[in-house]
Amino acid sequence: MLRDATGFFQDRVLAPTDARDAVRADFAMDEDSFRAFYDRTARGLWAYLARVTGDRQAADDLLQEAFYRFLRAGSEYESEAHRRNSLYRIATNLARDSKRRSVIRPVAAVSGEDIERVAGSDSAGSLDRSADVERAMARLRPNERAMLWLAYAEGEAHAEIAERLGLKVGSLKPLLFRARRKLAGLLGGKGKSNAV
Amino acid sequence: MPSDCCFEAEVLAAVVECRWPERVDPELRQHAGACAVCAEVALLATELRADRDRLRAEAAPPESARVWWMAQMRARREAEKAAARPITAAQVLGTAAAAWFAGACYGATSEWFRAEFTQISGTVQTLGVAGFLASGTGLLLAIGTISILVLVPTAVWLAVAKD
């Protein structure tokens, strides 16, 4: 403990560093790489967070927090997929923590405000379907929502989903099957004729 | 209902690649019509994929430049806060050193302290450590010393870790 305190003392008091340099050293990505990565992933991540939390406002907040923590993690990534998985894992943990702390408002059916937000760009039928999916997803557990979203909305492989959610690949399959059955039951026969 | 089907991945890929149902092999479409697993996968993937597209269109994330700038500002604030924290540690170390120095000066100069210390040493030599501890004074002294040894590091740790 004394060594820790002395280390702090030597690092921060005896040899103070410029805060700006400290910040740059902590971010593993440069601005251009980050901005390109953000532009590629932000919308998809927001959609994921909106569905997993069931709260668009929470998704706004968690999106920025997820990118900040991703930057602060300062890790080097061997591939784009690895980088994406890491970002989604951070976002998933944030969504779980928010749920535990009950920061997120209870999942509700689509509100009038939500409808207004998308009314300009969507037809009534599409809104109905969106509302059906939102209501059905709201009745699932957050982990089930996350699994289903990654598997069927994002089309990710089981290995990627397991990595993003911190699960074992072997245990994912039965969980995903159960979640799929549950959602199919909630959605009922709606859209079946269109889908097949 | 079986939990999986060997054509499930093919059906999902067709939905994700926007080929479902028009631009897929008719045999696969026919299979999905008869297979409960593939029908379910096609239904859910179609619904969730459409929902994803709607949400992505609705999403209004802040500009990447703004997010980068805000992250820089926040990291800088946190770095400054972290830099201020060791002052507490330094203060604790300084206080502890000052207390030790004061105690050492008192011990070296106080007749009473030296007399007490000589008496304790004599008792320990005569009765042994066990005998000394069995006496009331020895036990109190031992409890006091152990308490200080435990309490001081705990207090220092709390002072450092609190921030």
Answer whether B144 touches A (CB < 8 Å): no
The C-alpha R_g of chain B, in whole angstroms, comes to 38
Asked whether the whole model's pTM tops 0.90, one would answer no
Write the CA distances from A69 to A66, A96, A174, A194, B161, integer angstroms: 5, 15, 31, 41, 21
* Domain-located, residue B71: no
Q: Is the peptide bond before B26 cis (omega within 30 degrees of 0)?
A: no
Q: Cβ of A42 and B48 within 8 Å? A: no
pLDDT of chain B, 163 residues: tens digit per residue: 777 889 999 999 999 999 988 899 999 999 999 999 999 999 999 999 999 999 999 999 999 999 999 999 999 898 888 777 666 677 778 878 888 888 788 777 778 777 877 877 887 888 787 777 777 777 888 888 888 778 877 777 777 665 4
* Domain-located, residue B84: no
Question: In this predicted structure, what is the pLDDT of residue A24?
Answer: 52
Given a cut of 60, whether residue A25 has pLDDT beyond it is: no
Mean pLDDT for chain A overall: 78
The C-alpha R_g of chain A, in whole angstroms, comes to 20
Query: Which of A5, A19, A184 has the CB atom closest to B80's CB atom?
Result: A19
Q: Cβ of A195 and B47 within 8 Å? A: yes
Nearest 5 degrees, angle CA A114-CA A118-CA A123?
A: 120
| Domain containing residue B52 | 8-58
Distance CA A105, CA A58 (A): 8
Question: In this predicted structure, what is the pLDDT of residue A117?
Answer: 47
Query: Which of A51, A68, A196 has the CB atom closest to B55's CB atom?
Result: A51
Nearest C-alpha neighbor of B61 from the set A172, A50, A30, A98: A50
Among B58, B81, B100, residue at a domain's last position = B58
Mean pLDDT of the A90-99 span: 90
Question: In this predicted structure, what is the pLDDT of residue B107?
Answer: 74
To the nearest whole angstrom, how far is the Cα of A115 from the nearest Cα of chain B? 11
Q: Cβ of A68 and B58 within 8 Å? A: no
CB pairs under 8 A between A and B: 173
DSSP H helices, chain A, are: 2-8, 19-26, 31-53, 56-73, 80-100, 112-119, 124-138, 142-148, 158-165, 169-187, 192-195
The tally of domains found in chain B comes to 2
Summarised one tens digit per residue, pLDDT across range A43-59 is 999 999 999 999 999 99
Summarised one tens digit per residue, pLDDT across range A81-91 is 999 999 999 99
Nearest residue in chain A measured CA to CA from B20: A195
Distance CA B51, CA B46 (A): 9
* Domain-located, residue B145: yes
To the nearest whole angstrom, how far is the Cα of A164 from the nearest Cα of chain B? 18
Least confident interval from A64-73, A112-121, B149-158: A112-121
Q: Cβ of A180 and B4 within 8 Å? A: no
Query: Which of A13, A71, A194 has the CB atom closest to B86's CB atom?
Result: A13
* Domain-located, residue B65: no
Given a cut of 70, whether residue A113 has pLDDT beyond it is: no
* Domain-located, residue B97: no
Distance CA B118, CA B57 (A): 85
Question: In this predicted structure, what is the pLDDT of residue B151?
Answer: 81
pLDDT band at A34 (very low <50, low <70, confident <90, very high): very high
* Domain-located, residue B44: yes
* Domain-located, residue B17: yes
* Domain-located, residue B143: yes
Answer whether B159 touches A (CB < 8 Å): no
Question: In this predicted structure, what is the pLDDT of residue B160?
Answer: 66
Given a cut of 60, whether residue A10 has pLDDT beyond it is: no
Question: In this predicted structure, what is the pLDDT of residue B2?
Answer: 75
Asked if A149 contacts A51 with a C-beta cutoff of 8 angstroms, the reply is yes
- Between residues A37 and A125, which one has the greater pLDDT? A37
Nearest C-alpha neighbor of B8 from the set A173, A33, A117: A173
